[in-house]
Amino acid sequence: MSKFVFITGGVVSSLGKGITAGSVGTLLKKRGLKVSNLKVDPYLNVDAGTMNPFQHGEVFVTDDGAETDLDLGHYERFVDETLSEKSSITTGKIYSSVIKKERRGDYLGGTVQVIPHITNDIQERLINAAENLDVLIVEIGGTVGDIEGQPFLEAIRQMAVRVGRENVVYCHVTLVPYLEAAKELKTKPTQHSVQELRRIGILPNVLVCRTSHPMDTGMKNKIALFCDVPPEAVIELRDEATIYNVPIALHKEGLDDLILKYLGLNHDSEPDLSDWARVVDRYINPPEQVNIALVGKYVQHKDAYLSVVEALHHGGISHNVRVNIVSIESEDLETGDPAEILKFADGILIPGGFGVRGVEGMIAAAKFARENNVPLFGICLGMQMMVVEFARNVCKLPDAHSKEMNPATPHPVIHLMEDQENLRDLGGTMRLGAYPCDLIEGTKAAEAYGQLKISERHRHRYEFNNSYRERLEKAGLTEHNLVEIVELPGHNWYIGGQFHGELKSRPIRPHPLFDGFINASVNYMRIRKGEKEA
Ligand code: GLN
């Protein structure tokens, strides 16, 4: 019988529920259990595919091509398990399926209602996702009291009846704010949020309290008394120097022992967290720093390139350097001087994006990096703009990104994919998920991966136009099949990938291209330093 840990949140959003859920996954996996994570998003969108990065941050893509909430990225990085379409549920998904069943007559003329039809559909998906697992960790997006979240909270309340109270743990992440004027921590918001949960019939077993100041025993006892949990179930979670310390911090507070105890699972052995301790140490105390320019078009939103930023740090952890990421709005390179703006950079990364705005700035960054031997890594749109720059400036070829963007160009080097052309009227379609790629022996990419057969995740509508292949190759650009990767031999590091390698990077196992890119940037930084000192 699979067991469930439900993570809810109270008081405010952005408390780090996703990181808590991921950390619980890490800790339970380290105890030898087979675990996975699932995210519930109470919004009406069917998936995150149509969501603007400015509003909702990055869209995380799974191997099977689901476009999901960025919390799935945290889960994959923390738990190191590959997730799927099943790992993400939204109100939109649930209602679409229930309404489809209703239209088909599956409910035999019955009145279709939130309880039990919507709540049953939710529960069946949870049970289905937990198949073959010891524990499924389910995070409910939003905060208790949100109108949209109510059917989900009702569904998880019923789960205790359905699978047995001994098989579920309710873990509530809440805020214990510090009031500067009073110079003390306040428990009242937590009390209210637990009251709200109890009003709908959920009695939390564990409270994870986010706080900026240490909580003493008296404070913990007070929360325990008012919220009806034992004092050891009041877990303090302070702001950490890195999110990768959260599993260690939660373990010190005894969270994993407590969950295992409640679930009737063995908790005798200690989890081995030495790899996490090493990650944290290298993140916090590296001897050197490398400066990376992130030239993107959604740089104002802190989460728009979340996985890219994390993958860069993973590269830094692997090479024992601090990665100082400086965001550059690509449009600024259209008006300013790229050589001046980018002169601090030991490496330049151009990430993915959609639409024409800012692409000329990305092209300018690619040109600067190519001409000056600065390590350059392009991802998806970034790789496409590297190709456009090369075609325009090296091959003197027509260079439009696509026919839409410049109708006067009959044969753009980056064009709409053929199958996407046929689907044009449907809108919202893309090449999504994992596809294999064969690398060319002797290339930098093959060296970075240490193998020739790879599989990477995609999310794009445009691709390299193969009719230009020969001409670009003649001018010195190496391309790997389907033009998944381009690289310039002889350059310090000039690699662009059509796929999103950042989605598969892990703190303990950085993605090979991020690892290689940071390595090249560190070498470049040392050369420049040497030149300055000489
Ligand atoms: N807009 C480009 C395309 O659709 C790039 C997409 C991306 O960067 N994810 O192909």
471-494 mean pLDDT: 84
460 in ligand 1 pocket by Cβ < 6 Å? Answer: yes
Q: Tens of pLDDT along 159-181?
A: 999 999 999 999 999 999 999 99
497 in ligand 1 pocket by Cβ < 6 Å? Answer: no
Predicted pLDDT of residue 399: 63
Beta strands in 392-534 (DSSP E): 414-416, 431-438, 453-460, 462-464, 478-480, 485-487, 494-497
* Residues labelled as active-site residues: 380, 500, 502
CA 105 to centroid of ligand 1, rounded, Å: 40
Kindly compute the dihedral angle of the four CA atoms of residues 15, 17, 18, 21, in this order, to the nearest 10 degrees.
150
Q: Tens of pLDDT along 188-235?
A: 999 999 999 999 999 999 999 999 999 999 999 999 999 999 999 999
381 in ligand 1 pocket by Cβ < 6 Å? Answer: yes
516 in ligand 1 pocket by Cβ < 6 Å? Answer: no
285-296 mean pLDDT: 96
Distances (CA, A) of 504 to 304, 322, 378, 432: 17, 21, 16, 15
Predicted pLDDT of residue 402: 56
DSSP assigned state of 442: T
Residue 408 has pLDDT above 60, yes or no: no
Predicted pLDDT of residue 409: 56
Listed range (42-51, 291-300, 500-509) with the worst mean pLDDT: 42-51
Distances (CA, A) of 314 to 45, 282, 505: 32, 10, 7
**322 Rama sector, left if φ>0, alpha if ψ -120 to 50, beta otherwise:** beta
Which residue's C-alpha comes closest to atom 8 of ligand 1?
352
Close Cβ partners of 299 (under 8 Å, ≥ 6 residues apart): 305, 327, 328, 329
CA 498 to centroid of ligand 1, rounded, Å: 8
Predicted pLDDT of residue 54: 83
Predicted pLDDT of residue 532: 73
The alpha carbons of the chain give a radius of gyration, in whole angstroms, of 25
* Better-scored residue on pLDDT, 466 or 367: 367
Which residue's C-alpha comes closest to atom 5 of ligand 1?
381
Q: Cβ(154)–Cβ(23) under 8 Å?
A: no
Q: Cβ(486)–Cβ(386) under 8 Å?
A: yes
The candidate with the shortest Cα–Cα distance to 240, out of 510, 470, 392, 19, is 19
